[in-house]
Structure 1
Amino acid sequence: MEDLTDKKLMKAKLKIEEIKKFYKHLVTYLLVNLFLTFVWKFSFKLFGNFIISNQIDEEGFIHIPIWFIWGIFLALHALKTFGFLNIFGRDWEERKMKEFMKE
């Protein structure tokens, strides 16, 4: 019984660490993109004519904004952290360990 409690405690601690990492990522995303959008105007080319920029003109953004691209990764991080992106199911790793130990 104590082993099960320790295992649950360890899982809870890992989940809390994941959530803390996500919130740090979110705060970093907000601060960096606010800085880049309103203070530091720049742009750079990645592949050919694919330009990333946070520059704003009277018609809106000139090129694909950094906040949009980074936002996609932030959304994926949120999905992973809060359990919506778990392709293998919640206990997949544990089931696989038991399966391999039986062999």
Structure 2
Amino acid sequence: MKSLNDKKLARAKRKIEEIKKFYKHVVAYILINLFLAFVWKFSFKIVGNFTVSNQFDGDGFTHIPIWLIWGIFLALDALKTFGFLNLHGKDWEERKIEEFMKD
């Protein structure tokens, strides 16, 4: 059976990988949205009059900016990565492993 230090080390390595993935996501978000805003002008319809676009206009909410949609997912990713959406508690995984090993 793994020692407590081995478990902590494995958990720390998993957390570091999650954080690295999050920062890559942030960099991709910034670079791609800068590219879309200044270089490539696009828009496409999703449902009815709602259009996803990287351009602003005076139509109110008929055009949803792509950076907003992606930004919502980025915010959710940040909450998950930094532990705000941890619904099971800190040691839930370890408790479940021990529970299943007892059976």
The interval holding the TM-score normalised by the smaller chain is 0.7 to 0.9
TM-score norm. by structure 1 comes to 0.87
How much is the aligned-residue C-alpha RMSD, in angstroms? 1.9
In the comparison of the two structures, how many residue pairs are matched? 101
Task: List structure 1 segments (4+ residues) > 6 angstroms apart after TM superposition.
Answer: none
Instruction: State the partner residue of 1:70.
Output: 70
Give the superposition deviation at 1:98. 1.7
**Cα distance between partner residues in 2 of 1:7 and 1:102:** 18
Give percent identity, aligned residues only: 72
SS of 1:56 mapped into structure 2: coil
Instruction: State the partner residue of 1:38.
Output: 38
Instruction: State the partner residue of 2:21.
Output: 21
| Structure 2: runs of 5+ lacking an equivalent | none
Instruction: State the partner residue of 2:11.
Output: 11
**Cα distance between partner residues in 2 of 1:51 and 1:64:** 6
| Structure 1: runs of 5+ lacking an equivalent | none
Instruction: State the partner residue of 2:90.
Output: 90
Whether contact under 8 Å (2:56, 2:65) holds in the other structure is no
